[in-house]
Structure 1
Amino acid sequence: MSVVSPDAPPFLPPDLSTRALDAAEQMDSPNCDPVRLERTYAQFPLINAVVSGWRRNYRRYVRPALAARGGGTILDVGSGGGDLARSLARWSRRDGLEVQVTGIDPDPRAHAYAASRRPVPGLVFRPLFSSDLVAEGKVFDVVISNHVLHHLDPGAFHGLLADSEKLARGLVLHSDIERSPWAYGLFSAGTLPFFHGSFIRADGLTSIRRSYTAAELAAAAPAGWETRRQHPWQNLLLYRARR
């Protein structure tokens, strides 16, 4: 009997012509291995630094939105292990901006991990849904998410965008992977020697299969939202609040 490692991808590329909505990421399971899950959170900073493009998004969109007022507030929806929220807080401080960053994630495991890391000035984590903040009447200058959209069913997708419109007084940026053979092949090859003992490799390939193409994302988004394709494998869903 042969045993296939959960880190090993299929040798043949899957059908990427449509979204694989029936594919589930292992780390989303409430019964997944807690050791592998924590290792996944610990490895997120490296993988996000390589593939997410948020340093570029910060320079191009977030920093200009905050610079005019010398700072402001940022909400990171689905903050996971908290690495992006931490980066935004650090980048803003280095640029002389007084910024308060809030990271929210309803998964108690993600919140526990993020909250257990070394504190960063101007950063807080809360175990909430975006709808909870809407109910609290909260408003932020910039609302962002990273690699969240592909996790959501249509109802949750539109719920997040509706919540984002209510929560943002300025800018909303939802960034996600773009599904393509290039993205799948490069991620498969690039992660082959690394990220053993975590869900990064297997779940990353599943994420690509679940993700939107730029055309699909533009068709799914309501009026007022703009889809921008960012090479090599990112889509950005952008909304500017009219307050």
Structure 2
Amino acid sequence: MSLAEREDGLRELMDDPDCDPVRLRRTLRRFWTVNHAVSRWGRIYRTQLRPALAAGSGRRRILDIGCGGGDVLRRLVRLARRDGFDVEGLGIDPDPVACAVAREGPRLPGVAFRKLGSRELAIAGERFDVVVSNHLLHHLDRASFDAVLVDSAALASRRSVHADIARSTTAYAAFAVLAAPVAPGTFLRIDGLRSIRRSYTRAELGARLPAGWRAEQPTAFRLLAVRDAAPVR
């Protein structure tokens, strides 16, 4: 299979509103394991988010757009608190199943999950020190992609970091093998491979981002869309 071009029209099973809700819940729960293994949020926190949080004062707020099962937000809040920050987190997702699974995860004071879109928060004038997302951008059509970045710019008082997959044949081959043990009964393997086919290269993402944003590739399989709302010391 050639991955030379992004397959923008490919649809993931979990994005179908009529998909099997049982398999969807299993998929979201398994993401707790998969994201910890492959998403590199520990590194992203150290290099991107901790400096932004350190530039603020008082209670800091983290927003996770399209939070899925809620594992990424919980991890970031724990990392920030370990570093001594007074921080709270909000995860939002328009999918009620995702919100339910997120709420079923380990209880963490100061962390909440709501069935919302980013536009609703932006209209309400909410502000967060950092705004993040994990594996969201490749799901979005052009209009939704642009809207999420506009909302992020309005919501983040320090920095926005949207993390996604860097499309490559190596990533595709590795995931095909490594996902097999945790995939039964879920959409994980099929959708994971489709996600890679829908994802961007760094050059493609950089060309897609509006002014004020930059594309970074901290590891072979990870892309970041980053925007600084204020100088970060």
TM-score, normalised by the number of residues in structure 1 = 0.91
**1:43 matched to 2:34:** no
Query: d(CA) in 1 for partners of 2:104 and 2:124?
Result: 25
Match of 2:132 in 1: 144
**1:159 matched to 2:147:** yes
Q: Which consecutive unaligned segments of at least 5 residues does structure 2 have? A: none
Contact 1:89 1:121 in 2 (8 A): no
Q: CA deviation at 1:60?
A: 1.2
**1:24 matched to 2:11:** yes
Match of 1:87 in 2: 75
Match of 1:65 in 2: 52
Distance 1:117 1:49, change over 3 A: closer
Q: Secondary structure at the match of 2:167?
A: coil
Contact 1:26 1:32 in 2 (8 A): yes
Question: Of residues 108, 112, 117 in structure 1, which corresponds to 2:100?
Answer: 112
Query: d(CA) in 1 for partners of 2:83 and 2:17?
Result: 39
Q: Which runs of 4+ in 1 moved over 4 A?
A: none
Match of 2:39 in 1: 52
Q: CA deviation at 1:71?
A: 4.7
Match of 1:126 in 2: 114
Question: RMSD in angstroms over aligned alpha carbons?
Answer: 1.4
Question: Of residues 85, 89, 95 in structure 2, which corresponds to 1:97?
Answer: 85
Higher mean displacement: 65-74 or 17-26: 65-74
Cα deviations by residue, 1:52-85 (Å, 9 ceiling, x for unpaired): 1101111111112112426511100000010111
Match of 1:238 in 2: 226
Contact 1:105 1:126 in 2 (8 A): yes
TM-score, normalised by the number of residues in structure 2 = 0.94
Whichever residue aligns with residue 148 of structure 2, its letter is: L
Structure number with bigger Rg: 1
Query: d(CA) in 2 for partners of 1:164 and 1:86?
Result: 20
Query: d(CA) in 1 for partners of 2:182 and 2:107?
Result: 28
Query: d(CA) in 2 for partners of 1:95 and 1:242?
Result: 22
Whichever residue aligns with residue 54 of structure 2, its letter is: A
Q: CA deviation at 1:15?
A: 2.4
Query: d(CA) in 1 for partners of 2:77 and 2:70?
Result: 11
Alignment length, in residue pairs?
230
**1:171 matched to 2:162:** no
Q: Secondary structure at the match of 1:197?
A: coil
Whichever residue aligns with residue 200 of structure 1, its letter is: L
Identity, in percent, stands at 49
Query: d(CA) in 2 for partners of 1:176 and 1:222?
Result: 17
